[in-house]
Chains A and B, each alone.
Chain A
Amino acid sequence: MIVWLLVLLGFGSAATTHTVEIRGMEFHPAVLTVAAGDTVVWVNRDIVPHTATATGRTKWDTGQLTQGQTGRFIAHARGTARYACTLHPTMHGELIITNN
């Protein structure tokens, strides 16, 4: 009974951590679907530094990540969150944030 109540209240859906690799001057995957409350971690595998920086109205930014460094973002608002690398404007990514 208590377990059912917890599930109904949303305590049963644990947040997930997703990883986006930055390698070869691209985000992998470039498009990622996550649930609200999930965490997205970017890890830079390239020699050169990168950022994952929101380009939409909601502002977030991993800051500059050198090789091997990671940055994270907790997805809150539902919708599509587009982002880019501020150092390399040809690099783009997208988070599709769904209901928890």
Chain B
Amino acid sequence: MSRSRYQAALTVAALVCATSLHAQNTATAPDLSDPEVAHVAVTANSIDIDMAKFALTRTHNAAVKQFAQTMITDHSAVNAQAAALAQKLGVTPADNAVSQSLLSGAKQARASLEPLRSAAFDRAYLDREVAYHQAVLDAIDKVLVPTTENAELRKLLTDVRPAIATHLEHARQLRGQLGSPSRTSK
């Protein structure tokens, strides 16, 4: 593995760590082919859709509900484009270690949110969304775009970036409005 690819792989591992919040073996982070990049992208979108659906079953906060609904709408739109592009290019997204780690991390994140209710849930959900979107941005910049060879797939990733950045800002603003646990928890 070249130095740049190795660094890219480490960044993927960092993404996985940030989202799963558990230690990963960075030495096993793989070098990604285009079909694998496509799979990582679709998986990352699907994870956030599922998390938002879960949030809608838990939150009573109108702004958090709206945020979660936007996550479902936007990440579904991105996945639809990714699926259309994959079909056009004749590419079958390939499952890989990064996608599996993302799913594993999402399972853990879901488990950590499971016992929470009301404002505590809202804060934890938004904390997770801030960390997740930041990690996805880092992955787009440092791993997915630089390692993608197909120009159309790379353009899709580049086009998606502003939406992820906007989600991050939205989550940060909303989290700020909810206040710190010490001020809002009962």
Contacts and interface: CB of A to CB of B under 8 A. Distances in A.
Interface of A: 24-26, 46-49, 66-67, 86-91
A63 to B, nearest CB: 13
Contacts of B165: 25
Given A48-B77, A49-B73, A88 B162 contact: no
A47 B66 CA distance: 19
Contact of B73 (A26, A48, A67, A90): A48
Q: Is the interface of A mostly helix, strand, loop or mixed?
A: loop
Contact-size category for B = 10 to 19
B173 A47 contact: no
Contacts of A26: 162
Nearest to A87: B70
B170 A48 contact: no
Interface in B58-100: 66, 70, 73-74, 77-78, 81
Contact of A87 (B73, B162, B173): B73
Contacts of B77: 47-49, 66-67
Contacts of A48: 73-74, 77-78, 163
A87 B73 CA distance: 9
Contacts of A25: 162-163, 165-166
The winner among B78, B156, B159 for most chain A CB atoms within 10 A is: B159
B74 A87 contact: yes
Nearest to A86: B66
Interface in B133-173: 156, 159-160, 162-163, 165-166, 169-170, 173
Interface in B35-76: 66, 70, 73-74
Given A66-B77, A90-B173, A47 B160 contact: yes
A87 to B, nearest CB: 5
Contacts of B166: 25, 88, 90-91
Contacts of B160: 47
Contact of A47 (B70, B78, B169): B78
B81 A88 contact: no
A50 to B, nearest CB: 10
A90 B160 CA distance: 16
6 contacts: A25-B163, A25-B165, A47-B159, A48-B78, A87-B70, A87-B73
